[in-house]
Amino acid sequence: MGSAGERTVNGKRELTEGLAAQILNHVREGGLQAGTHLTAQELAARFSVSRFPVGQALQLLATKGALTHERNRGYFVSDVQDVSPESLGLTTRDDASDIYFRMADDHLHGRLPDPASEAYLKENYRLTKAQLNAVLGRIAQEGWAERRPGYGWSFSPMLTTPESLEQTYRVRLALEPAALLEPTYRLDPDIATRCREAELRLLRGAIETDSADALHERGVRFHEAIVGASGNPFFLEAVRRINRVRRLLSYRSMVDRKRYRQQCEEHLQILDLLEREKNEEASQALRRHLEHTIGNLQEIRPILER
């Protein structure tokens, strides 16, 4: 057994390499083109960590050639093709992500005490302080736990039932189609291209190989992109808030992936209409898309209730 100092160094290295692998997968799965600017602030928010480890991960990826670094400008996607975490020798096992899913499943099944002390969580899930902070930071950002003054963490009972997940889709059904009809609507061509590439990548086989986390993020990115183009920040903030709190059951629903081909094709149809500035038709297509999803929830209800 190594010394405490050795364990700390190894833990930091694993955290940096694991985060670098996540960033690289984000670049690949999001279809980010060479020259795309990656900011530490945006990545820190996406992965629920501070900017310091993100900076270390970006530096590591630049050292390995996956990113380029420009003085006083930051980090950019390089033009190196077919780069994967494995090809760069990065540690792809993400302990924090593994524990996140275990904790989420325990919460859904009522196995997680409420409230729970940090000492209990560290011991029960065999976490370092850094790993625990990363997991709890992500959970708090998603809205299903909050720190209790003086004693550990309290876990929200929200969104642990099929009914609560369906309610979030009904709110989205009221909001998202309306966002496409805003008079200030403009979808940036580069964003549309990235969204299209992400959908085509799934249709080429990634539906079966991507993690539940990656599939969820791709859906979130698509819907937030088209809603964000409305020019009305209140639509986007409302959708982001909903997306943060629906993850638990969204992950579970991804056990059944048969419906994802239809979802990708519907996303592409919506993009086609928006790019042709047929926003009325795009709004109607988005409404049908969300209604299909609500219908699919009934078919996979047994999965959600397990």
- Structural domain boundaries of the chain? 4-77, 95-155, 162-304
What does the pLDDT look like over 70-93, one tens digit per residue? 988 999 998 876 666 666 766 554
| Distance in angstroms (rounded) separating the CA atoms of residues 203 and 22 | 22
| Reported confidence tier of residue 196, pLDDT bands at 50, 70, 90 | very high
Evaluate whether the domain defined by 162-304 bears CATH number 1.20.120.530.
Answer: yes
Question: Which of 106-110, 163-167, 261-265, 296-300 shows the lowest mean pLDDT across its residues?
Answer: 296-300
Looking at residues 99-118, what average pLDDT do you find?
83
Secondary structure (DSSP) of 49-113:
--HHHHHHHHHHHHHTTSEEEETTTEEEE-S--S--TTTTT-----HHHHHHHHHHHHHHTT-S-
Q: Which of the following CATH numbers is that of domain 95-155: 1.25.40.10, 1.10.10.10, 3.30.950.10, 3.40.50.410?
A: 1.10.10.10
pTM, rounded to two decimals: 0.62
Q: Which of 15, 12, 304, 18 is nearest to 161 (CA)?
A: 304
Topology adopted by domain 4-77: Arc Repressor Mutant, subunit A (1.10.10)
Highest mean pLDDT among 75-84, 89-98, 99-108, 216-225: 216-225
**Cα dihedral 120/11/89/27 (nearest 10):** 60
Which range has the worst mean pLDDT, 36-40, 214-218, 273-277? Answer: 214-218
Tell me the residue ranges of DSSP E strands in the chain: 37-38, 67-70, 74-77, 145-147, 153-155
Residues with Cβ within 8 Å of 199's Cβ and at least 6 positions away in sequence, in order, are 218, 222, 264, 267, 268, 271
pLDDT at 131: 78
pLDDT-derived band at 108 (thresholds 50, 70, 90) equals: confident
| Distance, CA of 288 to CA of 281 (rounded, Å) | 11
Q: Is residue 270 scored above 90 in pLDDT?
A: yes
The answer to whether domain 95-155 and domain 162-304 are alike in fold is: no
Q: Is 297's pLDDT higher than 90?
A: no
Which pair of structure tokens corresponds to residue 295?
């219908």
